């Protein structure tokens, strides 16, 4: 039954992520059909990620009162409604509202599902989070082709969101029967003390340091990938193919990144991922030609998507069971809220006359500075270590000496 539940969750996370990333390959279509500027389209893609960030902390509190499986089911229902609304959008305001609604509908899923997977597979957290992430990553791989088919063959981008609504309804219905077939509650009883989550602020800050900078730049990169590559002189169809290649590289990255996170010291591993990501962004601004850009795209896809299962594994392995889901909700909510501005920032800078290359170079420099700051904090012992990497009888997750037992 656990395997069936996990498989169904993988199906739902594919649709959840599809809803968030479907707007990016539609950027040129929105600009042409609705006459939108880069900043306006950037606001649409940004709102999807703002939406996915906003409900996470409130839902983290909700998880102290409501079981995780009910929250997961609610996100499925909300996705059906949000996708249906977006399919009816007929202008910028409606499109922005639809994007925000899709984001809001997906926000609670990860808050409830990731800790649920950690509780279902406590000894294989990284591996199973990686597999779950691989299912999620199928969405951006398929999204450009789905969008191209809807626009070029069916002449209607709205069918993308109608299909999403239908798929979400079907998977949510299956999940209802899976949850009913379990003899015990998935993931245990609700956590009762939200204050426990806030007490783990050092772990939350460390997680933010690992993911926010790179996540912010990644948002601004993939949402404008096609626009940037066409500015480099690459044909739009080829640019869409390179975007698909970048996302396709995330498939092995999630799987391998999760397995490596189970085996490597998380802090140096995360620092290495961030440093490589900075190098990849800088390389993207320096190379020309389809072959060179394709090579960099693969590296960027591998590195960027390795970051997410790695930081999830770090958080779940460092936080104690008491308050884990709520603390993860706070972390992911703040992280995504900060990251979501990436697209809007890039769009605003480009509209102001700053070139894509200069914009990405400046942003990469910012990620580099944040990474150096994390390295410095780690060197003086201020970055919490996962419980499996240190002696749990001597050091707690905030670096304080204990007298034994789990902190």
> Could you tell me what percentage of the chain is helix, strand and coil, using 3-state DSSP and rounding each to the nearest 5?
80, 0, 20
Q: What are the tokens at 48?
A: 């999807």
pLDDT of residue 90: 79
On whether the CB atoms of residues 28 and 157 are closer than 8 A, the answer is no
pLDDT of residue 196: 66
Please tell me the predicted confidence (pLDDT) of residue 126: 77
Residue 222 lies in a domain: yes
Q: Is residue 397 part of a domain?
A: no
Token pair for residue 361? 């170079």
Is 355 a member of any domain? Answer: yes
Q: How many domains does the chain fold into?
A: 1
CATH number of the domain that 293 lies in?
A: 1.20.1250.20
> pTM for this structure?
0.74
Encode pLDDT of 227-283 as tens digits: 899 999 999 889 988 988 898 898 888 888 888 888 888 899 999 999 999 999 999
Cβ–Cβ < 8 Å for 266, 314: yes
- Residue 213 lies inside a defined structural domain of this protein: yes
pLDDT values of the chain reduced to their tens digit, one per residue, 407 residues:
688 888 899 999 999 999 988 887 787 777 777 777 767 877 887 788 788 878 888 887 787 778 888 889 999 999 999 999 998 887 788 889 999 999 998 888 888 888 888 778 877 777 888 888 889 888 878 887 788 788 777 778 888 899 999 999 999 999 998 888 665 555 555 555 566 667 788 899 999 999 999 999 998 998 889 889 999 999 988 998 898 889 889 888 888 888 888 888 889 999 999 999 999 999 999 999 999 999 999 999 999 999 988 998 899 888 887 777 778 888 888 887 888 788 888 988 988 999 999 999 999 999 999 999 999 998 888 888 876 544 433 333 333 322 223 32
The answer to whether residue 69 sits within a structural domain is yes
Task: Tell me which residue range forms the domain holding 99.
Answer: 2-379
pLDDT score, position 158: 83
Asked if 349 contacts 242 with a C-beta cutoff of 8 angstroms, the reply is: no
- Is 282 in contact with 358 (CB distance < 8 Å)? no
How do residues 283-313 score in pLDDT, each as one tens digit? Answer: 999 999 999 999 999 999 999 999 988 998 8
pLDDT of residue 152: 77
d(CA 283, CA 337): 27
- Residues with Cβ within 8 Å of 151's Cβ and at least 6 positions away in sequence, in order, are 26, 29, 157
Cβ within 8 Å of residue 376, ≥6 positions away: none
Q: Is residue 277 part of a domain?
A: yes
Classify residue 402: in a domain, yes or no: no
Residue 396 included in any domain: no
43, 50, 98, 164 from 102: Cα distances, Å: 14, 10, 6, 11
CA-to-CA separations, 148 to 90, 144, 370, in angstroms, rounded: 20, 6, 37
Q: How many CA atoms lie within 13 A of 25 on its CB side?
A: 30
């Amino acid at each position: 039954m656990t395997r069936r539940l996990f498989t169904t969750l993988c199906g739902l996370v594919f649709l959840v992520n599809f809803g968030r990333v479907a707007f990016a390959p539609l950027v040129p279509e929105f600009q042409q059909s609705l006459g939108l500027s880069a900043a306006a389209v950037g606001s649409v893609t940004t709102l999807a990620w703002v939406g996915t960030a906003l409900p996470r902390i409130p839902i983290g509190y909700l998880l102290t009162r409501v079981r995780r499986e009910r929250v997961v089911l609610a996100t499925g229902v909300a996705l059906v409604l949000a996708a249906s609304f977006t399919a009816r959008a007929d202008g910028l305001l409606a499109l922005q509202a639809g994007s925000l609604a899709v984001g809001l509908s997906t926000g609670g899923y990860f808050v409830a599902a990731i800790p649920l997977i950690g509780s279902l597979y406590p000894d294989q957290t990284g591996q199973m989070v990686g597999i779950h992430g691989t299912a999620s990553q199928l969405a951006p791989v398929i999204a450009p082709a789905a969008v191209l088919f809807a626009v070029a063959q069916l002449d209607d981008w709205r069918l993308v969101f109608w299909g999403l609504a239908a798929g979400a309804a079907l998977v949510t219905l299956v999940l209802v029967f899976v949850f009913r077939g379990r003899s015990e509650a998935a993931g245990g009883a609700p956590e009762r003390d939200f204050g426990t989550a806030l007490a783990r602020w050092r772990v939350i800050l460390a997680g933010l340091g690992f993911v926010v900078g790179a996540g912010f730049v990644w948002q601004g990169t993939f949402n404008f990938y096609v626009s940037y590559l066409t500015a480099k002189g690459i044909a739009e169809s080829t640019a869409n193919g390179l975007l698909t290649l970048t996302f396709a590289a995330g498939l092995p990255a999630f799987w391998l990144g999760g397995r490596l996170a189970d085996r490597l010291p998380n802090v140096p591993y995360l620092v290495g991922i961030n440093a490589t990501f900075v190098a990849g962004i800088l390389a993207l601004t320096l190379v020309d030609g389809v072959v060179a850009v394709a090579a960099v795209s693969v590296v960027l896809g591998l590195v960027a998507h390795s970051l997410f299962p790695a930081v999830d594994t770090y958080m779940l392995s460092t936080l104690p069971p008491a308050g884990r889901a709520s603390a993860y909700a706070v972390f992911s909510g703040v992280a995504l809220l900060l990251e979501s501005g990436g697209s809007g920032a890039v769009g605003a800078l480009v509209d102001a006359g700053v070139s894509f290359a200069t914009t990405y170079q400046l942003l990469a420099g910012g990620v580099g500075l944040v990474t150096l700051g994390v390295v410095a904090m780690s060197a003086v012992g201020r970055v919490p270590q996962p419980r499996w990497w240190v002696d749990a009888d001597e050091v707690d997750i905030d670096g304080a000496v204990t007298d034994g037992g789990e902190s």
